[in-house]
Chain A
């Protein structure tokens, strides 16, 4: 530690160059953070929720509806300890740019399956009791400046009222998802009201079922047992864990994800390579200074340590700042992208990986020049040969 001042002086030996190098490293590792967050979104690896939940959809298409009577039959399957259902509502609030998901759900059963939702008992009760009631996530309420008691008109598209007028819902409460949840902004509609209003043609049809399995270890068997019940019926099903369901949805974005990751990866390594070159150069140019240090009695190992510490310090300073900014901005970007790229998040693992990379980079860049500095013959170096 006593040489810290000396190391710091080395870092800022050429102030302009040091700042520029720090700037490049900052950009590279900021980009690294973004890349990791995008990757996380495509692999949906952060979902803390739904480890014991399964989703059952129509076998041949996600838009196929199933009779709500499936619910009781799924509940009877061995290994299943709770079932509820949900449906895609579509619909537009004011303008189609105001997109958010709206699900008609069973007010009794929904929060038993999604028990991680943070919601007051009053809100739950109000949702059960008021037929036209809806619950929204807090971020939605803030975005549209809704207050409890307010009437929210939604223009129907898939589901319409008999006279084709907008649906009128009353906001009865808000809820929140815990941090790290992959669930996004959401409006929950009372299924009983929805089913009554939407008309005879579709009565009793729902989009998908959510069930809880007793033992996630045997998820595949339980899923197969559920699908077995409906095999060769008019409404065959496809069941997967919630995680797999989300993953398959993320995969639908397709090789775009792979390409974007590949491009960002290439960028990151380009910048790092260039910066490494500059950093190496700055060490090379100070050969004579190292000769002076050795003349003063620094051991070979001492010089090696000095140079390595210096390059690691630069890498940590620049890369760390980039990662910090990425950490600070990630939640906001994630929120802005919630509609198109849910699950955009910078995980602790990614940050640690980034920090590890900065240290590796520092060591890698410093190693050759510092070995050179170590093996330096004092006389040659001072002579400028």
Chain B
């Protein structure tokens, strides 16, 4: 056992003399791990942002067979029925905790570019903020009801022009003054701007109809009963979703795309990196042919030789993995980007999330690459005929 360790150690100490080719493994694996981690963190961040918007004890009510809020429409009469069904939580004054909301899409110039992009404009009532966990105004103030004022979500205000406090945003028939910036704890609502629902209805010619109704339930278990009550009511034709389920579904398409992209690119890279690692280790073995043969002539078994080559490959790969994961973390964690969310047809801003789980995946991948890259060369090192090898120069 001691002799085995001695061989491994001797091998590791000789790495600096083969620095050039050893770097091939380190850099190659760092590249694979860094890229895979970065691309997957895109998917994780997006999914977290979307799911954060939903809660188990809240319900989203949409017109039947509307797949998204944008294509739904509900009347004032329907809103009354939805609010009075059993299971709805009430505030201290006995009023149902329900938020009827208007959602439209506005075309707004993006920050640092000439082009415009779609921005979700949500009209909410008094209870809108109450039905979001951790809603707070982080700058300025709330909009005043009945006035053309808006508050902008924290993560979107940096992505578009004219969304800082004091700015004025032109939309049809009215100029909206931005009076505040709000936060909802980093979820998808921060990608929206909020205005007073009645003002939105008149500005966007929505009569007195709404797109969606959010309902606070007494508790998460009240969902089935509430859904049943609405389904059975002849005055309504609506679909009832648990909010958490709804947002999870809404995020699945984009998340799936990002993940697939990360895996495909990662796989191509890993393919390239394995060749790089194999190449390096073969070179390492061939430059040390005489050395290895000498060891074996001295009586070291092939196990020790295999082990020494494998350990070298694994150490180099792990080093690469750590570097790659660290680069991905430093460069990307928390970095906010925005993209088109297919389900709302508008921009959603979210941050890359390099989680411990992703880092672990990256390191495991690095070890896997090191193992594959080291195995064949190690076998070759162990099977070289001693006499031939000693004669090589």
Q: Which residues of A are at the interface with B, using a C-beta cutoff of 8 A?
A: 16-17, 20-21, 23-24, 26-28, 30-31, 34, 58-64, 90, 92, 96, 155-158, 164, 234, 236, 238, 247-248, 251-256, 259-260, 263-264, 266-267, 270-271, 273-275, 277-278, 281, 340, 384
Contacts and interface: CB of A to CB of B under 8 A. Distances in A.
Given A20-B275, A252-B117, A271-B269, 20 more contacts: A20-B276, A21-B279, A23-B272, A23-B275, A24-B279, A31-B272, A59-B107, A60-B107, A63-B345, A248-B117, A251-B113, A254-B347, A260-B39, A270-B27, A271-B28, A271-B272, A274-B27, A277-B23, A278-B280, A278-B283
A291 to B, nearest CB: 14
Interface of B: 20-21, 23-24, 27-28, 31, 35, 38-39, 42, 63-68, 70-72, 104-107, 110, 113, 115-118, 170-173, 237, 253, 257, 261, 265, 268-269, 271-273, 275-276, 278-280, 282-283, 337-340, 342, 345, 347, 393
Given A21-B279, A256-B339, A278-B279, A27 B261 contact: no
B35 A259 contact: no
B35 A263 contact: yes
Given A20-B282, A92-B65, A96-B67, A60 B268 contact: no
Contact of A27 (B72, B106, B275): B275
Given A27-B271, A157-B65, A267 B265 contact: yes
A247 B338 CA distance: 17
A303 B283 CA distance: 24
Nearest to A157: B71
A20 B265 CA distance: 19
A152 B24 CA distance: 57
7 contacts: A28-B272, A30-B268, A61-B107, A247-B115, A254-B347, A277-B23, A281-B20
Contact of A20 (B65, B278, B339, B393): B278
Given A27-B268, A256-B337, A274 B347 contact: no
A264 B257 CA distance: 16
Contacts of B20: 277, 281
B67 A274 contact: no
B21, B257, B261, B279: most-surrounded residue (chain A CB, <10 A): B279
B67 A384 contact: no
Contacts of A60: 106-107, 170-172
A340 B279 contact: no
6 pairs of A and B residues whose beta carbons are closest in the complex: A27-B272, A157-B71, A23-B275, A270-B31, A60-B172, A24-B275
Contact of B279 (A17, A30, A238): A17
A322 to B, nearest CB: 9
Contacts of A256: 42, 337, 339
Contacts of A16: 282
Nearest to B26: A274
A28 B276 CA distance: 11
Nearest to B341: A252
Given A274-B27, A274-B28, A31 B347 contact: no
Contact of B268 (A31, A164, A259, A384): A31
A275 B276 contact: yes
Contacts of B337: 254-256, 259
B105 A61 contact: yes
Contact of A248 (B35, B116, B347): B116
A95 to B, nearest CB: 10
Given A252-B347, A270-B31, A278 B24 contact: yes
B94 to A, nearest CB: 34
Contacts of A164: 64, 237
